[in-house]
Structure 1
Amino acid sequence: MPGLYLAGLVLSIAGIAVLDARYRLFFWRAPLRAAAVMAIGLVFFLAWDVAGVHLGIFFIGTTPLLTGVLLAPDVPLEELFFLVLLCWTTMDLFAAVRPVVERLGRRGTATPRHEDGRA
């Protein structure tokens, strides 16, 4: 069924967008900065893909799940959506974990107190 993989990617991106909006992690926290980070990530990974195709490392196998639309030789349309999902998930995860790590770091550097309350 052509397009099934693309549909799954779009559904996954929608799920990440909902989590992002609910917890204001990436795009809903700083949209311009997030768009810049996303664009840089996409350019990097698309260049990586093109280099991999050129070196013969990456190629499209035969599957009925792809739409058949190519962005470049052996780079299907679905790859762009996969890279959006990869970058967005990574940035949401980073934004969700960062405050936890900072809180744990502050807890480890807190001044110890004696039983009578003195520092």
Structure 2
Amino acid sequence: MGILYLAALLVSLTGMVVLDRRFGLFFFDRPRRAAIVLVAGVLFFVVWDLFGIGLGIFFRGETSFMTGLQVAPELPVEELFFLTLLCYLTMNVFRGAQLLLERRRAA
């Protein structure tokens, strides 16, 4: 059961890829720009997390659903996948909203 949360994150990321592919939202619209934006977003939040950990604000939660693997003290590997999902979801929603507004204006 220690991999359940990571598995859920991977399933969710797969869903983001499927939506992106179907509607050409992010990576399937402009892959180079998407890669830069996604990496920048994930790095921003990783640095944010590291500062929070260093200041004693953020702590790793103990649960049987997580792998127990850590990238750094108090920074579980699942956090990287969560941050990737968060950034990917945000960009898919942003681009999807843009496309809907463009379609609505054209009609």
Deviation, structure 1 residue 62: 1.5
- 2:97 aligns with 97
1:8-23 to 2 correspondences below 5 Å: 8-23=8-23
Written as runs of structure 1 = structure 2, the 5 A alignment for 1:67-106 is 67-102=67-102
Q: How far apart in 2 are the matches of 1:18 and 1:103?
A: 21
| Percent of residue pairs identical | 49
Unaligned runs of 5+ in 2: none
- Matched to 1:53, the amino acid is I
TM-score (normalised: structure 2):
0.93
How big is the alpha-carbon RMSD for the aligned residues of Structure 1 and Structure 2?
1.4
Give the structure with higher Rg (CA): 1
Aligned-partner Cα distance in 1 for 2:86–2:47:
15
* Number of residues of Structure 1 aligned to a counterpart in Structure 2: 107
| Larger relative contact order, structure 1 or 2 (CA cutoff 8 Å, min sep 6) | 2
C-alpha deviation, 1:102, in angstroms = 4.1
Higher helix share: 2
TM-fit CA distance, 1:12: 0.3
CA deviation map 1:7-46 (0-9, x unaligned): 0000000011000000000000011110000010011000
